[in-house]
Every structure is written in C-alpha cells, then in structure tokens.
Amino acid sequence: MNKPLKQHLIDPEICIRCYTCEMTCPLEAITHDDNNVVVDAEKCNFCMDCIPVCPTGSIDEWRIVTTPYSLDEQFGWEDLPEQKDLGDSGGEVEALDDTIEALLAEAHKGAGGRSRAPASAAKPTVNLYNLGKPATARVQGTYRLTSEESGAEVRHIILDFGNQSLPVLEGQSIGITPPGVDAKGKPHLPRLYSVSSPRDGERPHYNNLSLTVKREDGGVCSTYLCDLKMGDEVKVTGPFGATFLMPDDPSARLLMICTGTGSAPFRAFTMRRQRVAAGASGDMVMFFGARTPDSLPYFGPLNKVPERLLKKHLVFSRIPGVAKEYVQDRMMVEQEVIAEMLADPATHIYICGLKGMEQGVEQSFKNIAESTGMPWEATRDVMRDEGRYHVETY
C-alpha cells in the first residue's frame, strides 16, 4: 500500500466559484471546469496561501488517502467523499490524526454522547498543520499567572506566527510536540492545549495567540512549554476541535464551568464578546474553581471584567479558616439562576478542566434540573444534540 498522505480538497457544496484561490495559488495547483474548483494533489505543496483568501471556508478540507483523488474525480463531485477507512497502513500522518482524535474523543466523553458544534458557530479550520508540516511559532511573551506560594505554576504563553496562517476559533486547541524522544527512543506524541485568546489574536489583528499552561511535575510537554524563553521557536500542529466552539449568535447565553487551565477557552469566549458584542443580549455566567485566589489563573484581569458582561462565581477550596467550596457547591447555591438558564433554549453549557470535576458538576445539574421537574439526562441529551452542551476535560 502507498504511504498515506493528506490531500487538500475543496468542498463543492460550499464553494461559491469566485476562483480567488486559483488566482492566489503560486503553483497553479488549483483549477476549475464548469462544475467544480479542484486541487491537483501532484502540484499542491501545502503552502496554505489559498486558505486565508477563501471567503467561504470551503477550501479547508483534507482527506487522508493512499491514492489521491484525480482532477477528473473531483470535477464530478457534488459533495465531498467521506474519509475512507485506510485500515492498518501505519502512516505517520494517519497515526497523528488518530492520536489527536483519541485525545479529543476522550476529552469530550463527559458530554454523554457525540458532541456537536453550536448552530451559529463559525466553521472551524482543522488539521492545517501536521507533524510532517508543522507551523513554526515564536514565543512573544511568557509570564507566570499564579503566585510562587500557591505551589501551582500556570503560565500565560503568547505565540507569534509571523506570516503563517493559523486561523483558530474560540474553543479550539493546538498541538505541541515536545522535542526529543521518549524512554523507548520514539519521538514524543503531541499534546493539546486550548487557545486562550480570541480569533483575531491575543492582540487584535496581530497574528498571535495565547495558551494557558500548567507545569505538571515530571510532565514532558508542560515543562518544555513553561521553560520556553522569549524568541524561542515552537512547532505547532492543528488547529484541532470542531465542536467545543462559541456560538456567534450574540443572543446565545453562555454558562461556563471550569477549574484551573479549563478557564483557557472561556478567556477566549469572554474576550470575543468584549471585542465584538459587548452589548450582547445573551448573558455569560462563569463558575470557576481553584484552591486559592493566587492559584486561579487570570484572577486580577477576570475581576476587572464588568459583571454585566460576565457574572463571575470564583470558588475556593483551600482558604484557611473558610469551609471548602467547589464549583458544584456554588452551583447548588445559585440553583435558581441555573434552573432558569436550563429552561431557556438560548442557553449553552460549557464544562472544561480536570476530569475529576465532571461527576460533581453533573450531579449538581441533575439535582437542579430534577428539582424543577426536568429529567436531567433527557434535557442534557437534547442540549447536546442541539450543540448546546459541551464538555472538554483532561
């Protein structure tokens, strides 16, 4: 069998036949007939010049193939073929995709079924860069968000992508592959990190993004990231994730529950609303758990976000002399607010953080829903199928 390769394709159902991509491609790899605009796999070198100029996003399509689709095949399509099952081909690209898929599937397991993107979310770009062809970013900034005394080191790391295009939506992740090899002499597998800045950049209209990384004792990738210095180069894959996305609809109400670095996507959501829809009718409510205020990432900046934009419940479990409180406890205290939001079809629920938080949060939702006569599992399943219930835990 041929070595699997990733083939760049254009979605004929979405393409508006403006031919901007064809005019932009420096290799003349894109061509068209009366029916479709198509990519020649023999000429395409993944330079990505065509990606940002496409007005529709129809250009962000990829399939792993052992024999590339020919131009004639593509001219005949009315829609894109599904990804074929390639069986045991052992390709590097395929292996990476499997790793990422497995990480995401595991991270979204708590949703109780297959997650869906919110109906009004923008179409995400995924898998633009892979191990064979990663993007190269430079560290533009790195600073510690948590105090030395707190014991936990969480860093805000800003990566600049120069002139490479890496379009991300709020809620997506990128892959970082630490350099070097593991104990068996094999290259390290990539790790996923949620993007904590909005789609237009950490700084508006700069080609940069931020991550919120916790240093794990003995952790290969988090140690690598937390030790990076200004100007260091980092290899990046992705973007990844097509469901844990923010609705673009400004009337959508967001109920966000997180611990630790699970706050990363919610920083992006909040900044997005602040930048483009500060007067949105949809409210945002956050339950954020940490041990102490100085171990809660973004404690200072979060407190400056006006309550009318983001209603914050910062919950602490290790304040000396104060009873332990976890996010699920505060949810019970605020059960009237949550019950009202659960009953509103405009509400979207997002849960992000450590796996251990899921059970308690789920139980509080169950208690609250059932106290108002709503069967929790059925309510959750409807919300999930409507793209309004999202879990990302790791």
Positions marked active-site: 193-194, 352, 392, 394
- Give least dist CB 193 to ligand FAD, A: 4
Scanning residues 148 to 177, which ones bind ligand FAD (CB under 6 A)?
173
For position 217 contacting ligand FAD by CB under 6 A, the verdict is: yes
Nearer to ligand FAD, 118 or 238 (CB): 238
For position 394 contacting ligand FAD by CB under 6 A, the verdict is: yes
Residue from 150, 210, 222, 379 binding ligand FAD (CB under 6 A): 222
For position 219 contacting ligand FAD by CB under 6 A, the verdict is: yes
Q: Nearest to residue 61, comparing CAs of 103, 20, 13?
A: 13
Contacts with 372 (C-beta within 8 Å, 6 or more apart), sequence order: 339, 342, 343
d(CA 1, CA 26): 31
Nearer to ligand FAD, 259 or 261 (CB): 261
- Give least dist CB 77 to ligand FAD, A: 32
Residue from 193, 288, 316, 389 binding ligand FAD (CB under 6 A): 193
Nearer to ligand FAD, 188 or 366 (CB): 188
d(CA 171, CA 243): 8
- Give least dist CB 97 to ligand FAD, A: 15
d(CA 115, CA 305): 29
Q: Which residues pair with 191 in a beta bridge?
A: 176
Contact status, residue 196 vs residue 268, Cβ threshold 8 Å: yes
For position 351 contacting ligand FAD by CB under 6 A, the verdict is: no
Q: DSSP character for 109?
A: G
| Residue-wise burial string across 79-90, b where 16 or more C-beta atoms lie within 10 A, e elsewhere | ebeeeeeeeeee
For position 77 contacting ligand FAD by CB under 6 A, the verdict is: no
- Contact stretch for ligand FAD (CB under 6 A) within 30-38, 140-148, 208-216, 330-338: 208-216
For position 263 contacting ligand FAD by CB under 6 A, the verdict is: no
- Contact stretch for ligand FAD (CB under 6 A) within 136-144, 158-166, 191-199, 278-286: 191-199
Residue 146: CB atoms within 10 Å: 24
Nearer to ligand FAD, 102 or 278 (CB): 102
Contact status, residue 118 vs residue 255, Cβ threshold 8 Å: no
d(CA 16, CA 88): 37
Contacts with 221 (C-beta within 8 Å, 6 or more apart), sequence order: 176, 177, 178, 188, 191
The binding site for ligand FAD (CB under 6 A) comprises 103-104, 107, 173, 191-194, 212-214, 216-223, 261, 264, 392, 394
